[in-house]
Amino acid sequence: MKRVLLSWSSGKDSAWTLHALRRDPAIQLCGLLTTLNAEFDRVAMHGVRRTVLEAQAAAAGLPLWVVPLPWPCPNEVYEERMAETCRRAVSEGIDAIAFGDLFLEDVRAYRERNLKPTGLEPLFPLWKMPTDALAREMIAGGLRARVSCVDTEKLPASFAGREFDEDLLRDFPPGIDPCAERGEFHTCVYAGPMFAAPLPLRSGEIVTRDRFVFADFAVS
């Protein structure tokens, strides 16, 4: 059986990757691996609070591997911290790290290149799935998430905080990927078949930082 860490963003793609991996009898999931902005104590890019992240891990029944990153974070620091984590993973008998990437070839190549010296195998369970069908499969399959971050160069700020559902997909302007693989938006998952029970997610304030709009969430 292959022992696997899952790169966990707190959002829908990593959550659906978790669901896919759990249906594979050859996979033993060993933890959720997340980079955290140490200055704000939030998931990098997604802006999700650490307390919500910890609630997600508890609902998934998996240990959380947190990699703290400074802000701003030079790429060499990111790679150094990740290399340290990979060494820990190898020492604990981990065989592979899984990612929720969908179609960006450069992102996949970057991950493969960085993992090659470690001996850890990169896995991409959702790779090349058509994103329109995938987004609807997630929703139909019971995944529930809210938009935690919006890139206002790609979407109106009003999308922040909205439910990831069919109405949201219908409201996207032309050219927006339904799974936001190009960074149009990020999500915070609070329910789905990958969790033992839904999270009691509460909506908070909407904050603008540069071109990004963040919706804050907390757990009751």
Tell me if 217 sits within 8 A of 201, measured CB to CB. yes
Position 101 scores a pLDDT of 97
What pLDDT digit, counting tens, does each position of 153-172 carry? 999 999 999 999 999 999 99
| Coil, strand or helix at 69 | strand
The C-alpha atoms of residue 111 and residue 109 are separated, in whole angstroms, by: 5
103 closest CA partner among 154, 24, 9, 177: 177
What pLDDT digit, counting tens, does each position of 24-53 carry? 999 999 999 999 988 788 997 778 999 999
Q: Are strands 64-69 and 27-37 parallel, antiparallel or unpaired?
A: parallel
Position 40 scores a pLDDT of 83
Position 73 scores a pLDDT of 78
97 closest CA partner among 75, 68, 124, 59: 124
What are the start-end ranges of the H helices in the chain? 12-22, 50-60, 75-91, 105-115, 131-140, 166-171
Position 184 scores a pLDDT of 97
Q: The domain 2-123: what is its CATH number?
A: 3.40.50.620
| Coil, strand or helix at 99 | coil
pLDDT < 50 stretches in the chain: none
Q: Where in the chain is the domain with CATH 3.40.50.620?
A: 2-123
Position 37 scores a pLDDT of 87
Q: Enter the tokens of residue 197.
A: 């029970």
